[in-house]
Chains A and B, each alone.
Chain A
Amino acid sequence: MFTLLMIVVPLAGGLVAMALPGLRARLVASLAAAATALLGLWVALAFGPDLASGAASRLDFSLPWIPGWGLSFSLCLDGLSLALVILTVLVSPVALLVATRKAGPGPDRRSSVLYGLILAMEAGLVGVFAARDAVVFYLFWELALVPIYFIAAFWGGEKRLPVTLKFFVYTVVGSLFMLFGIIYVHGYAGGSFALSSFQAAKLPSGVAPWIMACFALAFAIKMPLFPFHTWQSDTYHEAPAAGTILLAALMAKMGLYGVLRWMLPVFPEAFGAFQTVFVVLGLIGVIWGSLAALAQKDMKRLLAWSSFAHTGLMAAGIFSLGLVGLQGGLVQMLAHGLSIAGLFLAVDIFEERTGSRLIGAVGGLAHRNGAFAVLFMLLVLSAIGLPLTAGFVGEFLLLLSLSKLGLWWALAGGLGVILGAVLYLQWARKSFFGPSPDKVPAFKLRNSEAIALGALAVAGLALGIYPKPLLVLAGPALEAIARIAGAR
């Protein structure tokens, strides 16, 4: 029931917000986002110990939909789902804040729609992480896409239309293949769309790799995994700040979650045969993304490419299949979600106050606002994986898991991490340190900006210093996946 509430509250709040003008829309949207976040945290506290002990989840909800076809509207949260839901309900308010912080008092209808779409996306994301029925999963998978398409195509930059068209077509083509895969597996799953039936389905061994490829395509495009990343940099660049945060911090996680939940457990044998291919694709992404990021002048593009590299490392670690790799993947998903949301917010603040997003156009910002520089550095340190930050825990576990697969794999991943450190520190040096800028006056952060940046940075630190609660919470769920996927 609480699971359903976390979908219904943002969705209803979003719809109401769309219908209201100006500040009232902002109020309703903020309330809905805050209520969902509080609900998520409360659920984690109340049900977390239960889930950590491996007991059957009581956070489930099921309603028959088309019984003749074994289709039911079933949701359930286990530790893995809950962890990602928490990330969603914490980051979505940040995206909303980015959208609302500049809003004036006027009756601006267009902004109301933006708030509504952000909340609709939040509902879709929670649904994706909670779905336990393949069709319901697909439904929320698409429900999360439509709002972000409208956000990017409406509030985006100059070249938004061709860029978002490519993004939309790319992702929907992937989804259509997944839909076909779902329909096909259904035939072998005893006429049911339930996750448990999908896991029990025995596909003919000649067909299974193809059907897995249908799922893998949808997930690879969403992450994105090399070579399906060509939409990413442009879309992140053109989307407005709120949209980029949703895309990078949350939507990319849908693909990784899909792999964990719907690909590895459903096609363990088929995946085993092609494991190396997937690991290599992930690692190519790590190197490729890091090198491309080094060459970028625009901060948003730098973050986009570095995000691609980070996602590649997460994917490679998850594909290495050990429990350690899965744990590392989960920690890094949260770490990356928190830091990248903060960094995109920082870029937006940077652009608003200095008038430019180009690295090197303005330097020495630390002289103008020290607090901003400190918060930015905390986020950067988590992004490059310094010890005591969440990024360190995640990357360490991922590399450890890769090294069990082969030392060279781990070295390739490690190279990406080093390149990442180089590029972030260069960026920080050029933009925040050095002589104080002439043109830019001293500025203050808005309260909302300071709170959001601070919360994201502190959450990243907390997760880095003491990641155990997260690992314990998701332990049984990840162990189950590792067991099924490893027992081929």
Chain B
Amino acid sequence: MSLYVLLPVLAVLVLFAYLGRLRPFAFPLAVTGLAVAAVLAFFRIGLDHELLAGMAEFDGYAAAFSALLIVATLLTVILLHTPSGKTEVPRGEKIALLVFSLTGAVMLTSYTNLVMLFLGIEILSIPVYVLAGTRKSDAGGNEAALKYFLNGSFATGILLFGIGLVYAGTGQFRLEGILAWTGANAVGIHPLFHLGLLFILFGLAFKVSAAPFHFWTPDVYEGAPTAVTAYMGTVVKVAAFAAFYRLLARALPSVSEAWVWILATLAVLTLLVGNLGALAQGGFKRLMAYAGISHAGYLLIALMATGSMATGALWIYAAAYSAATMIAFVAWARVEEGGGSDRIEAFAGLRSRSPFLAFGLAVAFLSLIGVPPLGGFFGKLLVFGNAVGQGQTALVVFAVLMSAVSLTYYLRPLIQAWFHEAKAAAPLPLRAAEVIVVGTCLLVLLGLAALPDLLISSF
């Protein structure tokens, strides 16, 4: 049994259930299926270790990240079922597309072959291109879908070219093979390899929206339906980072001097663009897009270290970031539906309109800032600690300065929600789905504080 089979079958079943007479069962089926998949993945119950004749391995790393991605998808599905605004595409198709995309994400956590990396990226992305444009009559949605598609295809092309060049230089697609080859040919590595490596890094940087490859992010986040934006901000980004780390840690540790400085440069640029860009935003989704870019910068720093501590740091950071982002978008979707504008000021008076949501938002943003004892704090502590251990002190100082900048823009929605009075003071009743999603994410943010060691030692 493998998730590569389980997830697509689930998607197809959901699709057919929705088209046929079993329509009421489609959503419960998807939720149950994903929940089961998450448990199977996390505890690696009945899942094969070696997949596709050694093209992929479902190891501890894959298990932990897959579980995270499946849970995030599950929460998105719950959100999609009670969508904001009017929908034009039947929900069953959207759920199926999300699960198809998730299959690609799982591949990215478990690949051992560059071909699978490429396939994973494609399978992850293509359904999201469609999802981004599900509001067919909305100009913004169309713009988002087109921009995402064009930029995404371009990035995949660069990635594929890079894979080809690395193959030309080393004769290897397998991560182990590349590791062995770079170990054996430490002197005089063919320039094609370095060029290919650069292209692969750039391709992945596109996917994680690291500067200077971030241009598409704000427009796409703004135009896509909010649940899809939440999916892009969490699952797509985390999956791309999981793939990134797997590549660097499994195949390229012995040539780290060739890529550490590239990552450091990307991280500095990304932190700068993300944090300074977010300062200037008036729209909430654009703010979150730039905030997401800045977090890509911190995660790039996380990629530089290796070992179980580094894996744990990446996972905890990714989980805390995903949970907080998910809460922010749920809150936004609710406020947006309640007749707000797209400005941050739409949060005004959330405290009296929906205390639970305002509390969730406060916890989420405090976690993104890195206030203990929330998950985001442990993410930052571990990531910065590992980087200092690697001798990247200057980079960490810069990241700390940028965290200080981030305070000002994270506090803006928070101050609106808590300390400003609402213009339209109508209460915002929450649906069960929203309570479940926000509650789960809150548990993650608070629970990471209690159990960081359990997670780290599971790698």
Contact = CB atoms under 8 A, between A and B. Distances in A.
B450 to A, nearest CB: 9
Contact of A143 (B372, B403, B419): B372
A179 B381 contact: yes
A135 interface: yes
A186 B456 contact: no
Interface in B372-422: 372-373, 377, 380-382, 384-385, 388-389, 393, 396-397, 400, 403-404, 407-408, 411, 415, 418-419
B457 interface: yes
A120 to B, nearest CB: 12
A146 B366 contact: yes
18 contacts: A66-B452, A68-B309, A68-B456, A68-B457, A142-B371, A153-B415, A161-B419, A165-B415, A168-B411, A169-B408, A169-B411, A172-B404, A176-B400, A176-B403, A180-B384, A180-B396, A180-B397, A183-B384
Interface in B176-232: none
A153 B418 contact: yes
Interface of B: 308-309, 366, 369-373, 377, 380-382, 384-385, 388-389, 393, 396-397, 400, 403-404, 407-408, 411, 415, 418-419, 452-453, 456-457
Contact of B389 (A142, A143, A187): A187
Contacts of A169: 404, 407-408, 411
Contacts of B382: 69
Interface of B is mostly: helix
A154 B419 contact: yes
Interface in A166-190: 168-169, 172-173, 176-177, 179-180, 183-184, 186-187
A172 B388 contact: no
Contact of B385 (A150, A161, A186): A186
B385 A183 contact: yes
Contacts of A179: 370, 380-381, 384, 400
Contacts of B456: 66, 68
A63 B411 CA distance: 33
Contacts of B403: 176
Greatest chain B CB density within 10 A among A135, A154, A161, A176 is at A176
A68 B382 CA distance: 11
Contacts of B388: 183-184, 186-187
Interface in A112-138: 135, 138
Interface string A53-86: 0000000000011111100000000000000000
Nearest to B412: A165
A177 B400 contact: yes
B328 to A, nearest CB: 18
B383 to A, nearest CB: 10
Interface of A: 64-69, 135, 138-139, 142-143, 146, 150, 153-154, 160-161, 165, 168-169, 172-173, 176-177, 179-180, 183-184, 186-187
A143 B373 contact: yes
A146 to B, nearest CB: 6
A245 B419 CA distance: 22
Contacts of B371: 142, 146, 172
Contacts of A172: 369, 371, 404, 407
B453 A67 contact: yes
A139 B400 contact: no
A138 B408 CA distance: 21
Contacts of A138: 372
Contacts of A150: 418
Instruction: Rank and list the top 6 A-B pairs by shortest CB-CB distance, nearest first.
Output: A139-B372, A173-B404, A66-B453, A180-B400, A183-B385, A176-B400
Given A68-B457, A176-B400, A168 B407 contact: yes
A67 B312 CA distance: 13
B416 to A, nearest CB: 10
B396 A183 contact: yes
A65 B382 CA distance: 13
A332 to B, nearest CB: 30
A179 B382 CA distance: 11
A135 B411 CA distance: 24
A471 to B, nearest CB: 34
Nearest to A139: B372
Given A142-B372, A143-B373, 19 more contacts: A65-B452, A66-B452, A66-B456, A68-B308, A68-B453, A68-B456, A135-B381, A138-B372, A143-B372, A146-B366, A153-B419, A161-B419, A172-B369, A172-B371, A172-B407, A173-B404, A179-B400, A180-B400, A186-B385
Nearest to A141: B372
Given A135-B381, A161-B419, A180-B400, A64 B407 contact: no
B100 to A, nearest CB: 37
Contacts of A69: 309, 382, 385
A341 to B, nearest CB: 26
Contacts of A142: 371-372, 377
B415 A64 contact: no
A173 B407 contact: yes
Contacts of A64: 453
Contacts of B452: 65-66
A183 B387 CA distance: 10
A245 to B, nearest CB: 21
